[in-house]
Amino acid sequence: MENFTPLTATIGGVLIGLSATLLWAFNGRTAGVSTIFGAMFPRSPGDVAWRLAFLVGLPLGAGLGAAYGPDLFAELPDALPEVGLGPVALVAAGLLVGVGTRLGNGCTSGHGICGLARLSPRSFVAVGTFFATAVATVFVMRHVL
Amino acid sequence: MRRSVIAIAAAFGSGIIFGLGLAIARMIDPQKVRDFLDFAAIPDGGWDPSLAFVMGGGVLVAFVGLRLNRVLARPIVAPAFQTTAKTRIDSRLVGGAAIFGIGWGLSGFCPAPAIANLGIVPQSVMLFVAAMLAGSWLTGEIAEWARKPMTPKPQAVAG
């Protein structure tokens, strides 16, 4: 477990929980990123502005964290993330994530963080399912192929 | 300041804090995400449990935060708290989650980290984000089309 980073993982998780709290307290909305992103063409135009604002803030915050995080926490590597997939596989994975999260009404944030925190039975089923197929996929990719 | 401006600022701030959290937790790194999903690496010590701590920290804070509607009559700058009315566990939920998990395992990206990486390595994730948007949009359109009742076309009257 040489890459295990419990301190920054917990701090990062707490920040994500605070982000969800802020959006709930001020806007009364769930911080479900696939829904915020996937419903960019909503049937109610009143929802476009806050969604765009969230989606602009997300990469900005990540850019800040990637730039200054390694100076604050010794366990954080200073390397850029590497995708490690060719364009065809990347597009296929993107399509699967887009279709799956839209059909299942949520992803790791909406079902994973917010739904579990709300003790929603639908979210427990969704989280169990997507973790199971993700673990199976990684197993096939790393240990079978 | 106008309510609508504060609402947009709050969503912007929420996005920034979310992105900051993903970067600090290093969940922006698809390799690290897959190192968690690789349960077969547990026996030889190559497993990285970090993602469980991210989920744990996030759920704990949200467990309290998402219960603020019990003390607030309404959101600070919005008319009402909005949650889904869906309670049914159906094949759409399970099938969708299963499809999502395959794409997540394949790439190491779920939606938030992929979008977050537009602020770090945009050229590496652009294709993924575009495909994700296309998949979501197409699914939404098909679902909308399937939901509409089949209305027979009015018959043209001969004569």
Overall average pLDDT of the A10-33 stretch: 97
A26-54 pLDDT per residue, tens:
999 999 999 999 876 666 677 889 999 99
List the domain boundaries for chain B: 1-83, 87-149
Residue given tokens 């089309």 in the structure block: B145
pLDDT at A46: 74
Strand residues in chain A grouped as ranges (E): none
Q: Residues A12, A93, B13, CA angle at the centre, nearest 5°?
A: 30
The span from the CA of A35 to the CA of A132, in Å, is: 22
Cα separation values, B123 from A141, B18, B114, B130, Å? 24, 21, 11, 12
pLDDT reading at A92 higher than 80? yes
Pairwise CB contact (< 8 Å): B100 & A107: yes
B87-109 pLDDT per residue, tens:
899 999 999 999 999 999 999 99
* B42 interface with A at CB cutoff 8 Å: no
Looking at residue B85, its amino acid is: A
The span from the CA of A145 to the CA of B15, in Å, is: 38
* B28 interface with A at CB cutoff 8 Å: yes
The DSSP secondary-structure symbol of A86 reads -
Residue given tokens 């969230």 in the structure block: A54
Q: Are A112 and B151 in contact (CB under 8 A)?
A: no
pLDDT reading at B27 higher than 70? yes
B121-154 pLDDT per residue, tens:
999 999 999 999 999 999 999 988 888 766 655 5
Which residues of B, range 98-157, sit inside 8 Å of A by Cβ? 98-107, 109-112, 114-122, 124-125, 127-140, 143
* A23 interface with B at CB cutoff 8 Å: yes
**ipTM computed for the complex:** 0.96
List the domain boundaries for chain A: 6-144
Structure tokens at B61: 């804070």
